[in-house]
Amino acid sequence: MTYDNLLPSYEFEKLMGIPYFFTSTQPIHGVIKYRIDDFYVEEIFKNGIFATQIDLLNNLFPNKGNYLYVVIQKRNLSVNELLDYISNKLRINKSSIGISGIKDKRAITTQILSLKGINSEHVKILNSSRVKILGSFYSYGPLRLGTHEGNHFIIIIRNIKLNKDKLIEISSFLQNFFNFNLIPNFFGYQRFGIPRSVTHLIGRELLLNNFEKVIDLILGYPDVYEPEEIRNFREVYNKTRDLNLCLKYLPSSLYYEKIVIEYLLQHQNDYEGAIAALPATTLRMFLESYSSYIFNILLTKRLSLGIEPIKGDLIAPLDRYTPINYSWEIGREIDLDKAVKLISNRKATLVLPVLGYKIKLGYGLVRDILNEILINEGLRLKDFKFIVQNKPVIIRGSYRSAFVNLISKLRYTIEEDLILDGNALILDFSLPRGSYATIVLREYMKSPNEGFYIGKI
């Protein structure tokens, strides 16, 4: 398969490093996440066991030990909101809660958490209108990010104005495309913030030590799809730069903005100090978002050379669907024929680096492309070892599959949309962990408007 004569994407996607659509089908437009129930995600574990398959999970884990693994379903809660809720209800530190993956807020999500030293009877108090305990069992050691193998999605695209026959034609073509082709493994919209995709821009300015610009990006740059009170706050900052006035307009939900403003009111123009006052995890999120943006640019350039392995590519061994954090350079550390055989047998995968200061780039094709990108960005690899006022925020880097297959075949059904108007398309598919459902959805919708990806019409 080749990616020639691709349709250009829209400006909001280009700003995330995704310049093309990879299919040429007519847009169906529509909206996702119009209702919370329209977006369902469930974790998949070893042997294809879903998080809701409690009996099978009991066989997968030892069901003894000092960690309680809880199968939990949340509704319209971010992971941070969920962790705060559990911490408060059980009166435990958030550091004693383990998760395998970060899930969408505006969705129903089913996942597993680990709790240290908690009895299975005790977690019943977590049940509420937005949290449901589906089951529990014991294991040794905490759950860590990346324990699960994939995610299963059931997603409804509403308000589709195309007639049913045309929608069937497009859906059937795309079903065939996704079931029988490799999918470019771009980082999706959530990685950069949607609405208001500025997290990677903040990361870049951090690495360039443009601290005043970082503050502007954190506090300003309103987005039309943000809630009105947040948009008003950002507009006040943009127009006045009066921090005392901004504090009056500051919504309680803007935690990091509050940290920055309060610091600057006490330490005028100490922009670096205001950034150092932010949690290291937040700063790391900004840097990782920027590294994801660089990955998207790198993947775009690699796509221009096709999808088959070539000399200078990097491959990594696969642990089921996920590459191990080690790579070989084709033509230097492994010959091309052997690399192709390993990939075809799904023992290895073509990878590209997600930049960090310790990541290995090889000496050929990948290094050359990345050097070109970094020169254009005004950065060096060692800049990813970032320190602000003696506060280290270190991004080591990793490898990510350049292309992925669906874990399970994509299926679809079409129904009359009884909530809005027109037709509703229901998609059912599974992806390896770390891959974004929006990379599939955008090929159906091809929407010029980012609001349609977050429930706005």
Residue ranges for the chain with pLDDT beneath 50: none
Residue 366 pLDDT: 93
The pLDDT of residue 367 is: 92
Query: Taking Cα atoms as reference points, which of 457, 413, 453, 415 lies closest to residue 154?
Result: 413
Question: 207 near 289, Cβ under 8 Å?
Answer: no
So what's the pLDDT on residue 4?
61
pTM tops 0.75 = yes
User: What is the Cα–Cα distance from 384 to 313, expressed in whole angstroms?
Assistant: 23
Please name the amino acid found at residue 330.
I
pLDDT at 396: 87
pLDDT value of position 347: 95
Q: Measure Cα distances from 342 to 56, 336, 349 in Å.
A: 31, 10, 8
Identify the DSSP state of 245.
H
Count Cβ neighbours within 10 Å for each residue of 32-59 and write b for 16 or more, e otherwise.
bbbbbebbbbbbbbeeebbbebeeebee
Structural contact between residues 412 and 179, judged by C-beta atoms closer than 8 angstroms: no
Q: What domains are there in the chain, each with its CATH number?
A: 7-36+151-182+405-453 (no CATH), 52-147 (3.30.70.3160), 207-279 (1.10.1510.30), 281-404 (3.30.2350.20)
For residue 367, the surrounding DSSP H or E stretch is helix 365-377
Place of tokens 């240290």: 116
